[in-house]
Amino acid sequence: MRNVSKENITSAFLDYMGDDTDDRLKFILERLAHHLHDFVRETGLTHEEWRKGLELLYNAGEISTPQRNEFILFSDVLGLSSLVDMVNSPDNGTPSSVLGPFHILGAPDVPVGVDLIGNNEGQAVVVGGRVLTPQGDPIKGAELEIWQTADNGLYSNQDTAQPEYNLRAHMRTDADGRYLFSTVRPAPYTVPDDGPVGELLHATGRHPWRPSHLHFIVQADGYRSLVTEVFPSDDPYLDEDAVFGVRNQLVMEYQERTDVNGLPDDLEIKDKLKAPFYVVDFDFVLTKDTGSNQRLTS
């Protein structure tokens, strides 16, 4: 149209789309234009502010590599990644939470009860629980991928001092749906703040810290794949995760223990554990696969 105005530009945008545009794409773009246009109208965005926003995006492109994607980081610190996780989480299962950039394929297959501590420094933690249906039935043979930082806050693929696949594992639940491993407590760490995302964080008085967490992907035939992370209840950054990943249901209690009585016999390190150590009991609930919104991770 030739009489584009502040008021009609959103409908002009819609009118431009061809009749054979995919319905879902059309809906998404209609909502996107609606909200971005309202944003400009409500803020009376100046040319200088518009240029600043575009500069942040341009600089994000400059600093991004396949290993460091600043656009995902923008999505993370704006809460968008977490919100996408939440709108796609079924109400009756364990909530999903950000995958993050540190997952790698090929972690070793290990049995239930494995020790991941090896030569790692740090507080020993025994983590175990079950993978369940929403009805509470155990899921046998469910696959878990587990990854976490070492005590220094770095993942194995960020730290040449760590062995390949350090603190990474691939495990299947036993006949009772159980998983179990010993590890060291992961450490809080910062998201990269030396780029445009850091500029945004600094300008708004925000820090780049994430609370410590264990990452999990939990999958079983016929169930929705779950990508999530669990957080210790005493972490200093639990209430201020830079990327909004914490949910009530993903907080686990680190129970301090001084003896191994009552720990399962298939815990590989059971006889060698030195007190004090911590025990975490955390169950995952998978929901039926409805064929939609599947999160693909590999």
- Among residue numbers 8 through 27, which ones bind a copy of itself (CB under 8 A)? 9-10, 12-13, 16-22, 25-27
In angstroms, the CA 196 to CA 63 distance is 9
Residues numbered 170-229 forming contacts with a copy of itself, rule: CB under 8 A: 203-206
Part in contact with a copy of itself (CB under 8 A); list of ranges 77-85, 161-169, 184-192, 215-223:
77-85
Q: Which is nearer to a copy of itself, 43 or 258 (CB)?
A: 43
Helices of type H across 8-65: 9-16, 23-43, 47-63
Q: According to CB under 8 A, which one of 23, 47, 135, 222 is a site residue for a copy of itself?
A: 47
Cα distance from N-terminal residue to C-terminal residue, the chain: 46
Do 263 and 279 meet the contact criterion of CB atoms below 8 Å apart? yes
Comparing CA positions, the residue from 278, 297, 236, 235 lying closest to residue 97 is 297
Q: Which is nearer to a copy of itself, 80 or 154 (CB)?
A: 80
Residues numbered 131-170 forming contacts with a copy of itself, rule: CB under 8 A: none
Q: According to CB under 8 A, which one of 67, 248, 261, 290 is a site residue for a copy of itself?
A: 248
Q: According to CB under 8 A, which one of 169, 197, 230, 246 is a site residue for a copy of itself?
A: 246
Chain centroid to Cα 68, Å, comes to 16
Part in contact with a copy of itself (CB under 8 A); list of ranges 124-132, 144-152, 236-244, 269-277:
236-244
Buried b / exposed e along 165-204 (16+ C-beta atoms within 10 A): bbbbbbbbbbeebbbbbbbbbbbbbebebebbbbebbeee
Q: According to CB under 8 A, which one of 79, 136, 141, 192 is a site residue for a copy of itself?
A: 79
Residues numbered 24-43 forming contacts with a copy of itself, rule: CB under 8 A: 25-29, 31-33, 35-43
58 is a site residue for a copy of itself (CB under 8 A) = yes
Q: Please report, to the nearest 10 degrees, the dihedral formed by the alpha carbons of residues 167, 278, 287, 84 taken in order.
A: -70
Q: According to CB under 8 A, which one of 49, 137, 253, 259 is a site residue for a copy of itself?
A: 49
Q: According to CB under 8 A, which one of 68, 83, 164, 234 is a site residue for a copy of itself?
A: 83
236 is a site residue for a copy of itself (CB under 8 A) = no
**Which residues have C-beta within 8 Å of that of residue 226, sequence separation ≥ 6?**
93, 94, 96, 216, 217, 218, 219, 284, 286
Closest distance between a copy of itself and the C-beta of residue 288, in Å? 17
Q: How many CB atoms lie within 10 A of CB 237?
A: 18
CA distances from 160 to 61, 166, 182 (A): 27, 11, 23
Closest distance between a copy of itself and the C-beta of residue 167, in Å? 24
In angstroms, the CA 202 to CA 115 distance is 40
275 is a site residue for a copy of itself (CB under 8 A) = no
